[in-house]
Chain A
Amino acid sequence: MTLIYALAAGALFGIGAYLVMRRDLLRVVLGVVVISQAATLTLMASALGFGAAPIYPLPSGAISDPLSQAMALTSVVIGLATTALLLVLVLRVVDVFRSQGLDEVAEDEVAQEATLDAEHALGHEDEEAAAR
């Protein structure tokens, strides 16, 4: 089963990494979701023992490792929180830049930063003073 779990988690991570590298912000968020699923699966699979559920009254025989389950639970919940925040960020970006394509957003951002720099011309005032 070790191999199967590793295969599944590895495949999910690969899919997630591919999605994160896409130019569409929505796909990036989906990629993050998939990667966190891979992480949870890995945590679950890394239990030191498998068996019955660790709930009293305990049956005789092997019992599943409760610690990895607790960690997986934490990871699931935090994954939800970060994803929700990411989604709202995407929403705001689309609202401001009128695009969810990363390339357009990045271009806009660089242009905006250049105007800011030109307006205030403060970029590196102190560093330049230190270099003189």
Chain B
Amino acid sequence: MSHPTPLAWLAVVIAALAFGACLLLAMSGGGRVDIPWIPSLGIRFELEFDGLAAMYALLATGIGVAVFTYGAGYLPIHLHHAHRPRDDDRRFWPWMLLFMAAMVVLACAQDLIVLFVAFDLTAVASYFLIGFDRERRDARGAAMMALLVTVTTAVLMLIGAVLLSVEHGTSSIPTLIDVAEAGPVTTLATLLIAVAALAKSAQVPLHFWLPRAMEAPTPVSAYLHSAAMVAAGVLVIGRIHPLLALEPMVLDGLLVIGVCSIVIGGLLSLAQDELKQVLAYSTVSQYGYVVVLYGLGGPVAAGAAAFYVIAHAIAKSALFMTAGTVILATDETRLSRLGGLVRPMPLLAAASGAAAMALAALPLTIGFFKDELFFAAATERGPLTGIVAVLAAALTLAYIGRFWLRLFAGPLGIEPHAVPRLLVVPILVLGVLGIAGGIVVEPFARLAEAAASVTYGAPVAIHPAYHLDTRPENLMALAAWLVGAIILVAAPIRQPIVTRVAVLGGRLGPRRWYGALLQGLSRLSDAIHGEEVRDLRRSVAAVLVPTGVLIGIGFLATPSAWDYRIGDIGREDLPVVVLLGLGVGAALTVTRDPGRLRPVLALSVLGFALAAVYAVMAAPDVALVAVLVEAVYTLVFVAVFAVLPLSQRAAASAAHTARRRRDLAAGVIAGIGAFITIWAALSREPSQRGDALELIRLTPQAHGSDVVTVILADFRGLDTMVEITVLAVAVVGATSLLRRGRSW
């Protein structure tokens, strides 16, 4: 049951090939694609594999290989547990691959519109991945929440992109960075883009979708919620950072949001009992670090931010996969029931221990350097940010320590069953990578430097290394470990506090507001829907009134709309006037007539009168067709009356009379509006003679002599074909209605 499917292996191979290609590109110095996409708007499909792109593309594909391999082992078991067929993974792997491709395009995008499209593609793929267990309502709800939060805010990003390109005449990010200057429009636009990016990176107060998204199968969490989807937000910030830095207030805002995310994410992570929830809140907190670093600005912080993303992605995806393996092995999701797994699962304990140490920034792991750089950037700003940085690092140590120790140390909670090797090996690889990065940090530092140079706009150099002296970074690290260890040990004091914070957050937190907002919207839409089905007349008004308003706006926007021409009335027009009068008079009788045959006959008087008008207007084709159609109308009505039961008419009550008056007023207003509009339209001087002369000239070449016929059958033949299709659809519809849906 646990053998991976061929599709899974295919996905792994594709990810590996993509990783190899990205590695080759990164070593050969990148490459670029630049083709016109929407030339009329100056939008180009502009991709460049620069330093920032290299870093995020390597992460997306590299972590992708590890997670896909893990998923190849995980998914068959997951599907087996849910009593679903093995080949249901065809709803999984295509989305994972699409997600990876979207991430790579997002990393390389140099145009704001391309950036937006890739950004949204990741959200769409994540919707299907989070909601993979579609038979569970909670999974569907979680997917919907993630989609709503990230896509609604992504619209803000589009608005920001449009604002920027209208203001500066280009949507190309490098050009924008060159030409943009501080100004209210630029600030607003960058703020909008930043909101979208922060929501994607699950920053407070829009963080609540991420813990909810833990409904997803674990490989999805390990990929999307550690290295990819949430990284997309900080990637965008890193990409447009020079634009954000134009206004110091924006950077300060980032700083505040980042600190809030670190603190709230860290405290809530300590309060969680479910494995994946601990890690989800930890992600909120960890991306808070990156946002803080971007908020600090400057070359040191840019370098630290890039390095932080690398170190975090490696450690966090390994920890997510650990959680998944433990859950599969023990069928238990709560920390409080688990423990002592170090003896039955030593390899897993070691691998995830390395990852946990990396996240907690212990020496001899890549994580040590991430905090070293973080402390350096924080102290550069001032003592306050330095203290916050130490507290943040202490929190990280505490919640990751709690996670690992509760899982692997202490007495054995639940005896695990054996798990396939595929569920351990990728974790081991990432754990080894985390240790290797702590010994040979150069390649990672170069990668981060290249990325930071793009973010900062000038070459950046970072020198992560071990120094055995009392420089501030080392002292801060020592202080962080000490405080972290104290928090970790002081569980009896800690737990009541964080539980209270969690309860308070649940009561007053943004998720409540979001839920209330969504339910309000849902109720509003229900009310509108109810109104709409209850009353056709209002829906007629819903079409007529906005149309009238739009036409009114059109009038205001067209200064020449008020030129009315009466037009000459010659002697030869007299028959037309008389016939029109006859037709309108006949139509007027319909409004007063309660019967059902007489109104139809009156309408056919109107139709024949109009046909005669067309004949006088030198339109024999229209006149002939109108006569034919009028005859058919009358026949159809009479035929329907033959089977339509007579309705018992209710006696005219006061309410009926009032409504009749209201309808009459509305009808008069509609008529006057239509009259003014049509008169204005007919009064306009034709700017040119149109195509008519050309059509008349060409008719003999089409082997016809009646111009109208040739237009219908030849020059505008496609229109006529559509018209025939409409007729066919109407015939099919009418027939199947009459046959009550029975087959032929």
Residues of A within 8 A of B (CB): 1-15, 17-24, 26-28, 30, 33-34, 37-38, 40-42, 44-58, 63-67, 69-70, 72-74, 76-85, 87-92, 94, 98-102, 106-107, 109-110, 113, 124-132
Contact = CB atoms under 8 A, between A and B. Distances in A.
Contacts of A27: 599
A70 B716 contact: yes
Nearest to B620: A53
A69 B138 CA distance: 59
Contact of A12 (B516, B534, B537, B587): B587
B621 A94 contact: no
A125 B714 CA distance: 53
B618 A81 contact: no
B536 interface: yes
A57 B727 CA distance: 33
Contact of A88 (B568, B708, B738): B738
A4 B720 contact: no
B722 to A, nearest CB: 9
A114 to B, nearest CB: 10
B626 interface: yes
Nearest to B565: A2
Contacts of A82: 726, 730
B584 interface: yes
A43 B514 CA distance: 51
B668 to A, nearest CB: 6
A66 B707 contact: yes
Given A26-B596, A44-B622, A91-B738, A132 B141 contact: yes
B346 interface: no
B723 interface: yes
Interface in B615-651: 617-622, 625-626, 629, 632-633, 636-637, 640, 643-645, 647, 650
Interface in B536-577: 536-537, 540-541, 544, 564-569, 573, 576-577
Contacts of A42: 678, 681-682
A100 B650 CA distance: 12
A15 B667 contact: yes
A110 B519 contact: no
Contact of B148 (A6, A38, A130): A130
18 contacts: A1-B567, A4-B580, A9-B678, A21-B541, A45-B678, A53-B619, A56-B699, A69-B622, A73-B621, A81-B731, A88-B640, A106-B536, A107-B534, A110-B530, A110-B534, A124-B526, A128-B522, A130-B141
Contacts of B580: 4-5, 8
- List the 4 closest A-B pairs by CB distance, nearest first: A14-B671, A10-B675, A129-B141, A18-B667
A92 to B, nearest CB: 5
A46 B618 contact: no
A34 B619 CA distance: 21
Contacts of A70: 708, 711-712, 716
A80 to B, nearest CB: 5
A15 B587 contact: yes
A28 B566 contact: no
A69 B708 contact: yes
Interface string B675-703: 11011011100100111100110011000
Contacts of B733: 85, 88
B414 to A, nearest CB: 29
A94 B647 contact: yes
A87 B682 CA distance: 33
Contact of B144 (A10, A52, A56, A127): A127
A2 B515 CA distance: 58
Interface in B707-736: 707-708, 711-712, 716, 719-720, 723, 726-727, 730-731, 733-734
Given A73-B622, A106-B536, A132-B141, A6 B675 contact: yes
B590 interface: yes
B647 A3 contact: no
Nearest to B705: A56
B706 interface: yes
Most buried by A among B577, B590, B619: B619
Contacts of B650: 101
A91 B640 contact: yes
B607 interface: yes
A6 B679 contact: yes
Contacts of A33: 603, 633
B603 A34 contact: yes
B518 A77 contact: no
A109 to B, nearest CB: 6
Most buried by B among A5, A14, A58, A130: A130
B138 A58 contact: no
B535 interface: yes
Nearest to A8: B580
A4 B647 contact: no
Given A3-B566, A87-B640, A10 B671 contact: yes
Given A14-B675, A53-B619, A87-B637, 11 more contacts: A2-B682, A13-B674, A15-B588, A15-B590, A18-B664, A56-B707, A63-B696, A81-B726, A109-B533, A110-B533, A131-B141
A65 B737 contact: no
Nearest to B676: A10
B591 interface: yes
Contact of A9 (B148, B675, B734): B675
A20 B596 contact: no
A18 B674 CA distance: 13
B672 interface: yes
A102 B537 contact: yes
B514 A66 contact: no
Contacts of B727: 77-78, 81
A49 B689 contact: yes
Interface in B202-216: none
Contact of B533 (A53, A54, A113): A113
B670 interface: yes
A8 B682 CA distance: 13
B381 interface: no
A113 to B, nearest CB: 7
Nearest to A53: B618
B606 interface: yes
A74 B723 contact: yes
Contacts of A40: 610, 622, 626
A96 to B, nearest CB: 10
B189 interface: no
B540 A67 contact: no
B444 interface: no
Contact of A89 (B533, B626, B690, B737): B737
Contacts of A12: 583-584, 587, 606
A21 B664 CA distance: 9
A87 B596 CA distance: 13
Contact of B720 (A13, A18, A74): A74
A15 B679 contact: no
B712 A74 contact: yes
Interface string B124-157: 0000000000000110111011001000000000
